[in-house]
Amino acid sequence: MATTFEQSTDAIIQLDNCQKYFPVTKGLIFQRSIGQVKAVDGISLQIREGQTYGLVGESGCGKTTTAKMVLQVETPTGGLIRFNGKNIADLDAADRKLYRSSVQAVFQDPWSSLNPRLKVGSIILEPLLANQPMGKHEARENLERLLRDVGLHNFHADYYPHEFSGGQRQRIAIARALSLQPKVIVLDEPVSALDVSIRAQIMNLLKELQNRYGVSYLLIAHNLATVRYMSHYVGVMYLGKMVEEAPTRELFTNPMHPYTKALISASLPSHPDIQREDLVLSGEVPSPLDPPSGCSFHTRCPFVLDRCPEEEPVLRELAPGHKVSCHLF
């Protein structure tokens, strides 16, 4: 039974029990399926208008696969994604085009996400010109507005990407994502490749743009501090499943799931006098090829109960908007 949403009115994108299973094959010509990797296993979330949804988890937890499904790079093998209430798998050609221009992305590494052979002006305008035919003059106006929005100058349009620093390249990537006036931007680790003093610049820029244009973000990050600063709502993923979801303040002041607690306990302190509850997780994330039975976190959980290896917990709402999947509650 899929989770029901009480405030689904302002949700722009809604994931409903989404799954992505990748087949694992053996053999070169006659490929036999020998199993599957459940990269994403029943994720439900909603991205609300003008808000940021932060998705955290360690590598391999499926957060990037989730982002790829939203970007239509991967097709879900189960469940559905709704855009303004419509299932994106059944969109007609015109609506699909609208969806693709309404959902844009900014990636982690601005060194590989910009074409080195194009000038910055062409990079930023490429999506716009591909979608809306326009005259030279109008294109130039748009370009100048976009450059101004991200804090670059007009003359930068004639430079090549290699002439910029990491922070400026990320600004170019943001300008390109903004060019189609999207409803949602998927931010996949947008600041983790940048220097410390530049990160705050880019995060503040993203927040300003959100206030100005009301764009929503799906933020994928592993750094809890970044997620806390940027997000309105946070989902914590572990081995393809959502283990806890709550409004940001609620999640950080009242974390419930042992994995969320461990993540917060493992995050580095901002002052040497801060002593955290010592919650060391033993071992590593198990292989998604062969996930543990029952609750997939039971192999590392410090509070494991008898029923945990046998019975899979369901995501239940324990406080308004605060959902946890754990047998402890």
Partner 1 sequence: MAAIPVLDVQGLKTYFFTRSGVVKAVDGVSFTLMPGETLGIVGESGSGKSMTALSLMQLVPQPAGRIVGGRILFQGEDLVQKSQSEMQEIRGRDICMILQDPMTSLNPVFSIGNQLVETVRQNKEPHQASLMDRAIELLQKVKIPSPEIRMSNYPHQMSGGMRQRVVGSIAIAGAPKVLIADEATTSLDATIQYQYLALLKELQAETGMSIIFITHDFGIVAKMCDRVAVMYAGRVAEIADVRDLFNNPAHPYTEALMRSVPNVDEEVEYLYSIEGQPPALDNLPPGCTFAPRCPYVFDRCNEAFPDLIQVGDRHSATCWKLAGK
Write out the residues near partner 1 by the rule CB under 8 A.
58-59, 165, 167, 195-201, 203-204, 207, 222-226, 228-229, 249, 252, 262-274, 280-281, 284-285
Q: In the block, which residue shows the tokens 């290699």?
A: 162
DSSP secondary structure of 189-215: SSSTTS-HHHHHHHHHHHHHHHHHH--
**Closest distance between partner 1 and the C-beta of residue 198, in Å?**
7
Are 149 and 178 in contact by the 8 Å Cβ rule? The answer is yes
Q: Return the number of the residue (16 or 149) whose C-beta is nearest partner 1.
A: 149
Q: Are 102 and 93 in contact (CB under 8 A)?
A: no
| Closer by beta carbon to partner 1, 13 or else 224 | 224
- What's the CA gap between 37 and 183, in Å, rounded? 31
Nearer to partner 1, 77 or 192 (CB): 192
**Given the DSSP bridges, would you call strands 316-319 and 322-324 parallel, antiparallel or unpaired?**
antiparallel
* DSSP H or E run through 328: none
Q: Measured from the CB of residue 154, what is the shortest distance to partner 1 in angstroms?
A: 19
Residue with structure tokens 């680790």? 189
User: How far apart, in whole angstroms, are the C-alpha atoms of residue 150 and residue 172?
Assistant: 8
Give whichever of 273 and 306 is closer to partner 1, judged by the CB atom: 273
Q: How far is the CB of 223 from partner 1 (least distance, A)?
A: 8
Q: Which is nearer to partner 1, 99 or 164 (CB)?
A: 164
CB of 168 to partner 1, least distance (A): 8
Cβ-based nearer residue to partner 1, 57 or 76 = 57
Query: Least distance from C-beta 61 to partner 1, angstroms?
Result: 9
Nearer to partner 1, 43 or 203 (CB): 203
Minimum distance from CB of 230 to partner 1 (Å)?
8
Q: How far is the CB of 95 from partner 1 (least distance, A)?
A: 38
Tell me the CA end-to-end span of the chain in Å, nearest whole number.
20
Residue 68 in tokens: 């790829």
Alpha helix segments (H runs only) across 91-135: 93-102, 120-131
What tokens were used for 306?
């008898």
What DSSP element (H or E) covers 44? Answer: strand 32-48
